[in-house]
Amino acid sequence: MPRGAPGAVVLLSGGMDSATCLAVAARETRPIDALTVYYGQRHERELRSARALARHFGVRRHVVLRLPLAPLLRSNLTDPSKRPPRPGTPGAPPRIPATYVPARNTILLSIALGYAESFGLGRIYLGVNAVDYSGYPDCRPEFLAAYRKVARLATKVGVEAHRPIDVQAPLQNRSKAEIVRLGTRLGVPWGLTWSCYAAGPRPCGRCDACRLRANGFRAAGEIDPSVTRGPSASPTKRRRRTSSPSR
């Protein structure tokens, strides 16, 4: 199959995975555009991180799109009256958590697909992960494989030009520790990223996103500056590698 057009749009939430995904995309192709969608999630704090990361990596265009979808997508992340649940009991049967947002990645990818085709970009990057993750069904390899078929069958460039827009998920099969190591190697400014589901001034340390992030930094032997120095820490100061967890 002929190679697609250069350039990419990155779905940038402001979290550690999307930041690393942006760093990977910036290394692999140009130009890079970033798309951040605020769909009504409680943690709007991510938008500040997304803007800072877009500036840091010098994206060509950063689009912040506000879609009032919260009344339509029932989830603990879109209902401010509910608190994000704590991690489940170890050993209990896995269940899709209450923080799952119905069809979120399908919606975000569809927006990115239309954007990529409109602006002649050959790839979409998103930071989904199916190793150390919350169990969301739209983060699994099966979902990405199905959506690549959609991108081929539902676009003009896929049908007429036979240059389907590729959907890249470079973190799909990496553990959180591997993502931390990769991001550090690519110069991700961890102090600018935000992962917490809660809407507080600092990471809560209790929600699933905080737990996965903490475990990743701990396993990688890295210090998380968003915890040790606060979320507004300077990205220019290099962290000192440690041989053991800092907690």
Would you place residue 143 in the very low, low, confident or very high pLDDT band (cuts 50, 70, 90)? very high
Q: What is the pLDDT of residue 237?
A: 39
Instruction: Check pLDDT > 70 for residue 166.
Output: yes
Q: What is the pLDDT of residue 147?
A: 98
What is the average per-residue pLDDT within 90-111?
83
Fold of 8-176: Rossmann fold (3.40.50)
Q: Over the chain, what is the mean pLDDT?
A: 87
Would you place residue 197 in the very low, low, confident or very high pLDDT band (cuts 50, 70, 90)? confident
Helix or strand holding residue 195 (H, E)? none
Number of DSSP helices (H) and strands (E) in the chain, helices first: 8, 5
Q: What is the pLDDT of residue 86?
A: 56
Q: What is the pLDDT of residue 142?
A: 96
Radius of gyration of the chain measured on its C-alpha atoms: 18
181: phi then psi, degrees, rounded to nearest 5: -65, -40
Domains of the chain, residue spans: 8-176
Q: What is the pLDDT of residue 119?
A: 97
Instruction: Check pLDDT > 50 for residue 238.
Output: no
Instruction: Check pLDDT > 60 for residue 241.
Output: no
* pLDDT tens digits along 64-78: 999 999 999 999 888
- Placement of tokens 């958590």 in the chain: 97
* pLDDT tens digits along 13-41: 999 999 999 999 999 999 999 999 999 88
What is the average per-residue pLDDT within 131-137?
87
What is the average per-residue pLDDT within 43-55?
92
Cβ–Cβ < 8 Å for 218, 85: no
* CA nearest neighbour of 241 among 180, 186, 171, 195: 180
Instruction: Check pLDDT > 80 for residue 228.
Output: no
How many Å apart are CA 187 and CA 236, to the nearest integer? 10
The pLDDT > 70 percentage for the chain reads 85
Q: What is the pLDDT of residue 242?
A: 33
How many Å apart are CA 53 and CA 118, to the nearest integer? 24
Question: In terms of C-beta density within 10 A (0-12 exposed, 13-18 middle, 19 or more buried), how is residue 24 classed?
Answer: buried
What is the average per-residue pLDDT within 110-119?
98
The pLDDT > 90 percentage for the chain reads 68
Would you place residue 225 in the very low, low, confident or very high pLDDT band (cuts 50, 70, 90)? very high
